[in-house]
Structures are given as structure tokens and as C-alpha cells.
Amino acid sequence: MRVAVVVDSVKLARERVCKLIEKFDFHVLEAETAEQFFNHMEDYRYNVDIVFMDIQLPDADGFDLIKKLKIKNSSVPVIVVTAQTNRNMFINGIIAGASEYILKPYEDAELESRFVKIIGSTSYSSASGSSEIKPMITMNLDRFLRGEIRKAQKGKIDLSIMLLAFYDTSQPFNLTVDATYIKQSYYIHRQLQQLFWDTDVFLPYGSQTFIGIFPFCDKGQTLHIRRKVLNKCREIKAEKREFKFYDVQMTFSSYPEDGETREQLLDVLIERMTVAMKRDKQVHNKILSKI
């Protein structure tokens, strides 16, 4: 039987996740603290199938727990489930190696969908018969990224990573994610995904952010990707009234020019996004002050 670990200081929150995943024939372990989490990990020699992690724990930072877990077993997928909506939290999740980032409050169907995507489950009909989760391709973002970087290193090929964020420029610009972005995120993802090759990976990460992984793509070719994405976004803004004031920000890092390890490439990627967003914040605040 496969094993899942649910880490949350709130008992009701743990029980909700447990109820959702037990029907997939998982043995579920609960942890209220970091100490309990590592006790479970030691018992199973860090060979569990998936971890659900709330980053707000009474005795530790959840991101630190993820990093320590990844040192022991980098292949374990982690779904962060939290009420923290600061964009820096999404960035910390990427650095730590989380595969998914889900905001509380969430719909049960959303959590199931992300869970099934990672574990590669077959179709499952809920007990009520009201919904069905169709077969999906297994995708552990962190493991996939590590694998693509190893391929690039071994084959001496180019690889580029993209971090894309979208936001409403008509509102005061800040680092807090509005829950209303979630619906728009699904639409934007479907539209932009059509731009890329089958060998490319373009995934939502949180409610405002996407990550793209592009094999055989050097720094020069990222300019072509940027143009395609910007042109598509202009089309969306022209056709969909609700996106009229939306804007996107993209940053890239490329192997081997910007780094040769996962950590180096993510550091460059995130530093560039941080600089870009700070610059946009200053511009948007000046514009809003004149309205």
C-alpha cells in the first residue's frame, strides 16, 4: 500500500486531506509538528509516496522541512497546502522543491485533481457519483526539473526555465495574491500552453504563477518565447474584457549560461523576477497616484 504523510497543526485540516486521499488506497500518516513528521520519515526511511505540507507549523518552517526531506529523498513529491498568499511564499516553494502549491480555502475537487496528477492514478468516481477524475499524466515538477537538468548536463544540450506571473494593473500593486486570480489562471494556462512544443512543460504553480521548462532552448531562443507569450497576452486582453488591465512578467534562466545546477538556475530565475516585480511595483504605484 502506498504511503502519504499529511503535515498540518490543525486537526480538522489534516482530517479533511486524509479523507480525500484514503479512498485512493493510501495509508495516511498524520503529523502535527516537525518532530512527528521526521519520526514518520525515519520509520519509513524517507520512502513515502507523497507529502502534504502546511508551511505554518508551531515548531518549524514547513519549507525547511521540505528542504531536509529533499536531501534524504529528492524524488518524494510535496504538495504545499496553506493559507499563506504572499508571492514570496510561492518562490520559497519553488526553491524548496514543492511540486504543487494549493491555497486554503480550496475545493476538494481541486486538491484531488492535483493529487491525482502527481500520483498518476486511474479514473476514480467519487462516492456521490457526482464527479470523476480522469487519468492524468504523472508530473512531479521538482523531480522533472532535476531530471531535465541532468539530461542537459549529460548530453551537453541547452535548457531554459521560465517563471511567469500575471496581475491586475488596475489595482494597487502588492505581494498579496487575490483569490479571484485562480479562475483567470486556468484560462490563461490553457491559452498559453498551446504556444509550446510537446517536449516543453508549462505548468501552473500557485494562483498567479507558471513555470515553463524548455529543452533544447538557449538564451537567444527565450526571446522568441517571450514574443509569442506577449503577443498571445495582447490577444487575450483584446478579446476578453476581464483581462483588459492584466499584465504579465516573465523571467528566464538558461543552462549552461546562467548556471549548471538546479540551485544556480533557480537563484538566477528568482532574482530576475524579484527585480522585475519591484520595478513594476514602482511604475504602477506612480501611475495609480495620478488617477
Q: Where are the domains of the chain?
A: 2-133, 141-289
What's the CATH code, domain 141-289? 3.30.70.270
**pLDDT at residue 113 in the model:** 84
**pLDDT at residue 149 in the model:** 95
**pLDDT at residue 153 in the model:** 95
Third-level CATH fold of 2-133: Rossmann fold (3.40.50)
Closest CA to 140 of 109, 115, 123: 115
**pLDDT at residue 99 in the model:** 87
**pLDDT at residue 183 in the model:** 75
User: For residue 284, how far is the Cα from the chain centroid?
Assistant: 26
Q: How far is CA 202 from CA 28, 42, 125, 262, in A?
A: 30, 34, 28, 17
**pLDDT at residue 291 in the model:** 36
Q: How far apart are CA 122 and CA 230, in angstroms?
A: 36
**pLDDT at residue 215 in the model:** 95
Q: How far apart are CA 103 and CA 90, in angstroms?
A: 10
**pLDDT at residue 191 in the model:** 94
Q: How far apart are CA 197 and CA 139, in angstroms?
A: 17
| Joined grid coordinates for residue 190 | 490553457
Maximum alpha-carbon separation in the chain: 61
Per residue in 8-17, pLDDT (tens digit) is 999 999 999 9
Using N-to-C axis directions, what is the helix angle for 262-289 and 141-155, rounded to 10°?
A: 120
For residue 7, give the 3-state DSSP assignment.
strand
Q: How far apart are CA 167 and CA 208, in angstroms?
A: 7
**pLDDT at residue 17 in the model:** 95
* Intrachain domains 2-133 and 141-289 with the same fold: no
Which residue stretches of the chain have pLDDT < 70? 85-87, 121-139, 171-180, 281-291
- pTM, rounded to two decimals: 0.68
**Cell 501552473 appears where?**
204
Burial 3-29, CB ≥16 within 10 A → b, else e:
bbbbbbeeeebbebbbebbeebebebb
In contact, 236 and 243? CB cutoff 8 Å: yes
**pLDDT at residue 236 in the model:** 94
| Joined grid coordinates for residue 205 | 504553480
